[in-house]
């Protein structure tokens, strides 16, 4: 038996790096999974990804409502919502345009708001298994250079997660956020390619971690799977940092 047998799950950004790994893990644990994304190939591409593709633009309220109406008409309930859709913009506030600012907030924050808002009626129909897992970041606690807007969005998601938990945990809907550090996704690979010698930069990123490695999408999916399962029945309103010890250390002590 799987940890998520007979559960119904929607994963936004479900065709991206981490979202795809979450869909794969959920499906392996017995869940019926809908991978919400802009395209079936997503940012990774390839054949036969896990989960049924659900066309979903998290910035478009009508599209969000239509997607959850499809889930309602098919299943009558939802047990798990994972808000994994997100983008990153590498700029200071001085070089960030207003369009960039609005776009990253629309996807990372407003998207989390809209999907959660319209999933709630379906999550209330879950029989004691309802769980929302948002995606924050260690960058919502501390900051990397030239990620001002991204850091701001993740801080907002952290606060929103706690507020949602306060409001909806009494209804039996648990709300948590996973806060990854560096994870080997298309977003991270794009960072490597844009910033010089890829091999040396990859090693430098590994070396800055106490574990001397960065994470994989599977690492993140393992935590998301636990938060979605009944083993995490007492977990709500928390920000779960998964960063290889990166944010535990005082950086200047490494000099």
Give the domain ranges of the chain: 8-183+217-242
Residue 234 — φ and ψ, nearest 5°?
Answer: -100, 5
Across residues 213-232, what is the average pLDDT? 96
Look up residue 166 and give its two tokens: 């306060």
Place of tokens 């990774």: 44
Do 228 and 255 contact (CB within 8 A), yes or no? no
The active-site residue, picked from 34, 138, 150, 182, is: 150
Tens digit of each residue's pLDDT (9 = 90 or more) over 42-82: 666 666 689 999 999 999 999 999 999 999 999 999 999 99
Distance CA 57, CA 227 (A): 25
Q: Is the dihedral of CA 42, 138, 189, 203 positive or negative?
A: negative
Tens digit of each residue's pLDDT (9 = 90 or more) over 8-49: 999 999 999 999 999 999 999 999 999 999 998 766 666 668
Do 18 and 37 contact (CB within 8 A), yes or no? no
CATH class of 8-183+217-242: alpha beta
The verdict on whether 138 is a catalytic residue reads: no
Q: What pTM does this model have?
A: 0.93
């Amino acid at each position: 038996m799987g940890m998520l047998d007979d559960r119904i799950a929607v994963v936004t950004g479900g065709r991206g790096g981490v979202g795809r790994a979450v869909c794969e893990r959920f499906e392996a644990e017995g869940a019926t999974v809908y991978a919400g994304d802009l395209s079936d190939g997503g940012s990774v591409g390839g054949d036969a990804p896990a989960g049924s593709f659900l066309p979903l633009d998290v910035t478009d309220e009508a599209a969000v409502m239509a997607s959850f109406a499809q889930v309602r008409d098919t299943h009558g309930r939802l047990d798990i919502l994972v808000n994994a859709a997100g983008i990153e913009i590498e700029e200071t506030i001085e070089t960030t345009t207003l369009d960039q600012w609005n776009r990253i907030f629309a996807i990372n924050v407003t998207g989390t708001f809209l999907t959660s808002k319209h999933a709630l009626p379906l999550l209330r129909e879950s029989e004691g298994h309802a769980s929302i897992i948002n995606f924050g970041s260690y960058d919502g606690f501390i900051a990397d250079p030239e990620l001002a807007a991204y850091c701001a969005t993740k801080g907002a998601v952290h606060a929103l997660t706690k507020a949602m938990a306060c409001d909806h945990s009494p209804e039996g809907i648990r709300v948590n956020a996973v806060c990854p550090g560096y994870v080997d996704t298309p977003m991270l690979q794009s960072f490597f390619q844009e910033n010089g010698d890829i091999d040396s930069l990859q090693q430098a990123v590994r070396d800055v971690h106490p574990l001397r490695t960065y994470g994989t999408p599977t690492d993140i999916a393992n935590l998301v799977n636990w938060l979605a399962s009944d083993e995490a029945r007492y977990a709500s309103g928390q920000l779960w940092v998964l960063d290889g010890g990166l944010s535990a250390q005082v950086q200047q002590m490494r000099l």
